[in-house]
Amino acid sequence: MNIELLTIDGVRDLLARKEMTATALAEACYGKIAAEDEKIGAFLTLSKSRAMAKAAEIDQLAERGDPLPPLAGVPVGIKDVLMTRGVRTTAASKILDDFIAPYDCTAVARMEAAGAVVLGKLNCDEFAMGSSNENSGYKPVRNPRDLTRVPGGSSGGSAATVAAGMAVAALGSDTGGSIRQPAAFCGVVGLMPTYGRVSRYGLIAFGSSLDHIGPLTRTVKDAASVLQVIAGRDPLDSTSADVPVADYLGAIGKSVKGLKIGVPEEYFGKGLDDEIRAAIEGVMDQLRAADCELVRVSLPHTKYAVPTYYLVATAEASSNLARFDGVRYGHRAEAVQTLAEMYRRSRNEGFGTEVKRRIMLGTYALSAGYYDAYYLKAQRVRTLLARDFQQAFSRVDAILTPVTPTPAFKLGEKTEDPVEMYLSDIFTVTANLVGVPGMSVPCGNTREGLPIGVQIMAKHFDESTMLRIAHAVEQGQSTSTDLKP
Amino acid sequence: MAETKVTEQDVMYVADLANLELTAEEKGRMIRDLNSILDHIDTLNELDTSDVPPLAEVVSMFAGSPAADGARFDYAMRADEARPGLPHEAAMGNAPESDKVYFKVPKVIEK
């Protein structure tokens, strides 16, 4: 049994047939982490006692022949921006280096209640700010498919962990593409639900109107399984939607015949890598063969999405990160004389460069005299983007696009110019600005063997259609004998 | 909006607002980076948004009743009744300095 290939169903099967225990599986994962993670850098903290306690609990259920919960014994990794009670939670920042979370993130609690075994906390870009996992306050994460390249970000640790087989699933967060982009770069499935579909309680806030929690998994069905468990109204998050949770697992395997899929011309322009373009055209051919109707649509305000995002996200971040001041938790500078000095030096010593840059930009955008011209302007452009999607969705059921303009780039390649890094988010930020769900599904490799992902976006709260199409794409990949993109 | 260029003075003012203290090197980099990013953001001025309302959140469009007033946020409300919150001890657990009751900080009021 190769733990690198295990799915959620696979784990539950093994446990139900008593071919393996949850304890042995957790130990096997820790063995793999010990062997592989030094070169990958995905884990920041291991939570062995918590994991083994949960595994033992699941083993008792299996022993008695009791029905197993949906994620029984499934080893998972949790991005370090999600609170895990009693376990060090750093947001990959030195400012929270010794912070022990006093409560659990709702999504984590729901996964554990469903039987998941939390192996540890995963590395990411500091405070989820980045697209390459090079901004971690601790160490970069490397792409398991090519260790000289980035895994993507900010959920780089989550994507790498699943890709390397160190866990069966991971939770990540997505504010501008941080689940989907690393999923594409590492060749795994990454799902960002509709805004408000999954509670944000316990997610260390970056951009509160843009943040989402979501799964990274090896298969589309696994993503549906995790979503089924974590979705739903949470009274602890007033922005979580009181909308009924659909049967996501029921969507897996449903025919896509007759679905109309929009292809927006603005996402297929000059900057798109040729091999990615070809792979996605291959997906379109597959979907046509499955009797989907591919429809050309236009999302005319696409080119304004990145600047809009960088205003809204940084403004919200500047406000959200004001709480890190050395007073109640986190790093406090030593030998300070005044309160003001304490704030300044604690923040200066604790925050990395990208975080400071974004706080500065956000503060500038919100400062007197600039609020209307920057932040409010961006919020108005957001409405224009939402209208683009509304119009497109009046004609189609889903939208198909690339996830990234290029495959995974080399470490250090884009760290000089922030704008160059920001532009790599160009296909993913729109979903966050508008609140629609989006997921990345592997759809081939480049000639150099680097993974390529295709993005499927759906209407608000229509994750079922998104999953249905994603599954069809995935099935098309595995039956395709032609491995060239 | 006229083309604005971020100056060192702007950077110092903003750093002050954000409670950040930048080193000389960080200041130089910040001026360069902020200008580069703001240049990129200037493209938003190509759009006429004078008649466009801002979009702050999407959830109320789907949850709750489609009322135009505050009632559309009813789903997010509950009765104003006290409920157990984070226990005091848990809240103090990460305190950099405390007397177990209060968080201790440098003197706030001079004299």
Helix A220-230 with A463-479: angle, nearest 10 deg: 160
Give the residue from B1, B20, B40, B92 with the most A CB atoms within 10 Å of its CB, the best one to mutate.
B20
Please give the pLDDT value at position A248.
98
Q: How confident is the model at residue B102 (pLDDT cuts 50, 70, 90)?
A: very high
Least confident of A141-145, A375-379, B76-80: B76-80
Residues B52, A383: C-beta atoms closer than 8 Å:
yes
Q: Distance from A361 to chain B by nearest Cα, in Å?
A: 7
Domains of chain A: residue spans and CATH: 3-251 (3.90.1300.10), 260-301+382-479 (3.90.1300.10), 307-372 (no CATH)
Residues A360, B52: C-beta atoms closer than 8 Å:
no
**How many Cβ atoms are within 10 Å of A242's Cβ, its own excluded?**
16
For A419, the closest of B10, B36, B95 (CB atoms) is B36
Residues of chain B in contact with residue A351, where contact means CB-CB under 8 angstroms, are 20
**How many Cβ atoms are within 10 Å of A39's Cβ, its own excluded?**
10
Please give the pLDDT value at position B105.
94
φ, ψ at A293 (rounded to 5°): -100, 120
Q: Note whether A485 and A431 are within 8 A (CB).
A: no
**Which one of the listed residues A154, A173, A318, A440 is annotated catalytic?**
A154
Q: Known catalytic residue: A154?
A: yes
pLDDT one-digit tens code per residue, A408-425:
999 999 887 777 778 889
Q: Known catalytic residue: A178?
A: yes
Residues B41, A100: C-beta atoms closer than 8 Å:
no
CA distance B86 to A108: 18
More confident residue, A426 or B70: A426
Judged against a pLDDT cut of 70, whether residue A59 lies above it is answered with yes
Report the amino acid identity of residue A477. Q
Tell me if the bond preceding A154 is cis, omega within 30° of 0: yes
Please give the pLDDT value at position A221.
98
Q: Note whether A408 and A168 are within 8 A (CB).
A: no
Q: Distance from B98 to chain A by nearest Cα, in Å?
A: 9
pLDDT one-digit tens code per residue, A236-246:
999 999 899 99
Give the DSSP letter of residue A66: P
More confident residue, A423 or A312: A312
Judged against a pLDDT cut of 70, whether residue A315 lies above it is answered with yes
Please give the pLDDT value at position B57.
81
Instruction: Please name which of A273, A345, A358 lies closest in space to residue A316, comparing C-alpha atoms.
Output: A358
**Which one of the listed residues A178, A318, A424, A440 is annotated catalytic?**
A178
CA distance A105 to A94: 21
Q: Note whether A79 and A93 are within 8 A (CB).
A: no
pTM here?
Answer: 0.96
Judged against a pLDDT cut of 60, whether residue A398 lies above it is answered with yes
Q: Locate tokens 């599904």: which residue?
A: A441
Judged against a pLDDT cut of 80, whether residue A480 lies above it is answered with no
Q: How confident is the model at residue B64 (pLDDT cuts 50, 70, 90)?
A: low
CA distance A128 to B110: 38
Q: How confident is the model at residue A27 (pLDDT cuts 50, 70, 90)?
A: very high
Please give the pLDDT value at position B1.
37
Q: Locate tokens 């409300």: which residue?
A: B77
Chain A: residue nearest B104 by CA?
A327
Instruction: Please name which of A93, A158, A94, A95 lies closest in space to residue A122, comparing C-alpha atoms.
Output: A158
| Average pLDDT score over residue span A69-75 | 98
Residues of chain A in contact with residue B55, where contact means CB-CB under 8 angstroms, are 379-380, 382-383, 386
Find the length of chain B.
111
Judged against a pLDDT cut of 90, whether residue B21 lies above it is answered with no
pLDDT one-digit tens code per residue, B11-20:
999 999 999 9
Q: How confident is the model at residue A4 (pLDDT cuts 50, 70, 90)?
A: confident
Q: Note whether A115 and A39 are within 8 A (CB).
A: no
Supply A372's token pair. 């209307």
Mean of all residue pLDDT scores within chain A: 95
Q: How confident is the model at residue A225 (pLDDT cuts 50, 70, 90)?
A: very high
Instruction: Please name which of A457, A442, A337 lies closest in space to residue A385, comparing C-alpha atoms.
Output: A457
Residues B37, A241: C-beta atoms closer than 8 Å:
no
Q: How confident is the model at residue A483 (pLDDT cuts 50, 70, 90)?
A: very low
Q: Note whether A155 and A131 are within 8 A (CB).
A: no
Residues of chain B in contact with residue A340, where contact means CB-CB under 8 angstroms, are 19
Judged against a pLDDT cut of 90, whether residue A43 lies above it is answered with yes
Residues of chain B in contact with residue A326, where contact means CB-CB under 8 angstroms, are 96
CA distance A221 to B92: 42
| CA A266, chain centre distance (Å) | 24
Give CA separation, A194 vs A83, A227, A400, A463, in Å: 21, 11, 16, 8
Domains of chain B: residue spans and CATH: 8-46 (1.10.20)
Please give the pLDDT value at position A454.
98
Q: Distance from A79 to chain B by nearest Cα, in Å?
A: 20
In a 13 Å sphere around the CA of A441, the CA atoms on its Cβ side amount to 29
CA distance A155 to A183: 8
Please give the pLDDT value at position B111.
59
ipTM tops the 0.95 cut: no
Q: Note whether B35 and A419 are within 8 A (CB).
A: no
Residues A374, B41: C-beta atoms closer than 8 Å:
yes
Q: Note whether A156 and A133 are within 8 A (CB).
A: yes
Q: How confident is the model at residue A352 (pLDDT cuts 50, 70, 90)?
A: very high
Pairing between β-strand A43-46 and β-strand A398-402 as defined by DSSP bridges = unpaired
